[in-house]
Amino acid sequence: MGDDQDRATALPLNRRSLGGLGLGWLLSPAAAQGAGLGSLARTHGVVFGTAIQARYLEQDAAYRDAVATEASLLVPEWEAKWAALQPEEGRFDTAPLDAILAWARSQRIPVRGHALVWHNAMPDWLPAALAEGRQRALGVLAAHLDVALHHARGQIRDWDVVNEPIANPPGSDVPDPGPGPLRDTPWLRALGPSYVETALRMARERDPTLRLTLNEYGVEEDTPDAAEKRRRLLALLRDLVGRGVPLDAVGIQAHLQLARPFRPEPFAAFLKQIRSLGLTVLVTELDIRETHAAPQDLARRDALVAERAEAFLACAVQGGARTVLSWGLTDRYSWLATEPAVALPNGRVHRGLPLDADYHRKPMWNGMARAFARG
């Protein structure tokens, strides 16, 4: 932790008094750095937010300050997933989610929900239950939605109802062997391709005022596999919308990779096609993965990350995305630092979020601010 952060956590953070006395350096880095991305984005009609975790809110004052300074929308990175909410069948644990909801209320920051139907973060009992047949699977899904949607209904008004339903085409990082356009998951095997429609209809039945979002990744870049995944996703969206299946928005995760090219034109055309279906577009999980050959020089690394963030976000915002969330704020807690499948070798840590590990703004922060201004 940086020196100023240590001092800040040791003192009462009364920003107005300390700031007013010219002692801003005593504040946490975030508070001492001026208006956050959320307030900057808002002046251009964009809502900026980020994923957070309850455990970091609890243990890290600088984290709390950074989120309060930068974010105008929050999404639980873990606490609203099935494994967290219903670790055993019939036993719901809402405490971690409630900690996030309570803090968000105290900061007057809205929260979106992630993720109701997904093939990851499944508690051990769930795949086994789904494999017992269609009626069992429908019962399990209904029981989870009953609790998840009812419990947070006063605060979470937008959910990622179905997460990552499209099969990864050949050429993807982790291509799916299945021949079909839908990812081979326990949900698909239990309920067939209609599981996406079933989940959306069940969510709408439980709360007609919710914004229902379908969330996906790997559709952003200028590669043959991303182009095919865009095609597959658009085909699913056209089918759902054409049959009147309740769906309001599409979340584009935007886990971008510098190893893969980005060109605005195909992505802008993709967003236009989604919006022509009457669907809202959100950027839901922005972060940027460096290449293993990333330069040694931090300034050069940060410039490459900032350039991609700005190019992508300018295209997304001009293409109609009015809600943008990053998947965390600080490199310190990014999944990119801990997930073996994506981490950098030799102890290097991805610099793929707007704040560094000591909560100081990086060029990526500035690139994002410029992109919001160009929107």
Which residues contribute to the site for ligand G3I (CB under 6 A)? Answer: 53, 55, 77-78, 81, 120-121, 163, 217, 253, 285, 335
Q: Which residues of 80-91 are buried (b: 16+ CB within 10 A; e: fewer)?
A: bbbebbbeeeee
The whole-angstrom separation of Cα 302 and Cα 282 is: 25
69 or 163: CB nearest ligand G3I: 163
CB of 120: closest distance to ligand G3I in angstroms?
5
53 or 69: CB nearest ligand G3I: 53
Classify residue 374 as left (phi > 0), alpha (psi -120 to 50) or beta: alpha
CB of 168: closest distance to ligand G3I in angstroms?
13
Give SS3 for 175: coil
158 or 285: CB nearest ligand G3I: 285
The whole-angstrom separation of Cα 270 and Cα 221 is: 11
217 or 369: CB nearest ligand G3I: 217
How many Cβ atoms from other residues are within 10 Å of residue 124's Cβ? 9
Please answer whether residues 85 and 91 qualify as being in contact, where contact means their C-beta atoms are separated by less than 8 angstroms.
no
The whole-angstrom separation of Cα 221 and Cα 259 is: 10
| Structural tokens at position 100 | 């996030």
78 or 159: CB nearest ligand G3I: 78
CB of 238: closest distance to ligand G3I in angstroms?
23
CB of 134: closest distance to ligand G3I in angstroms?
26
CB of 284: closest distance to ligand G3I in angstroms?
8
The whole-angstrom separation of Cα 348 and Cα 140 is: 42
CB of 257: closest distance to ligand G3I in angstroms?
13
Give SS3 for 311: helix
Instruction: List, in order, residues 6 or more apart from 215 with CB less than 8 Å away.
Output: 114, 115, 160, 162, 163, 164, 250, 251, 253, 284, 285
CB of 354: closest distance to ligand G3I in angstroms?
16
41 or 84: CB nearest ligand G3I: 84
**CB burial class (10 A; 0-12, 13-18, 19+) of residue 31?**
buried
Give SS3 for 292: coil
Give SS3 for 255: strand
Bridge partners of 216, per DSSP, are 252
Number of helices followed by number of strands (H, E) in the chain: 17, 9
55 or 206: CB nearest ligand G3I: 55
Q: Which residue is nearest to ligand G3I (CB)?
A: 335
230 or 363: CB nearest ligand G3I: 230
18 or 249: CB nearest ligand G3I: 249
Q: How far apart are the two ends of the chain, measured CA to CA in Å? A: 35
Amino acid at 210: L
Amino acid at 359: Y
CB of 191: closest distance to ligand G3I in angstroms?
21
CB of 171: closest distance to ligand G3I in angstroms?
19
Bridge partners of 114, per DSSP, are 160
- Which of 38, 46, 44, 41 is closest to 104 using CA atoms? 38
335 or 359: CB nearest ligand G3I: 335
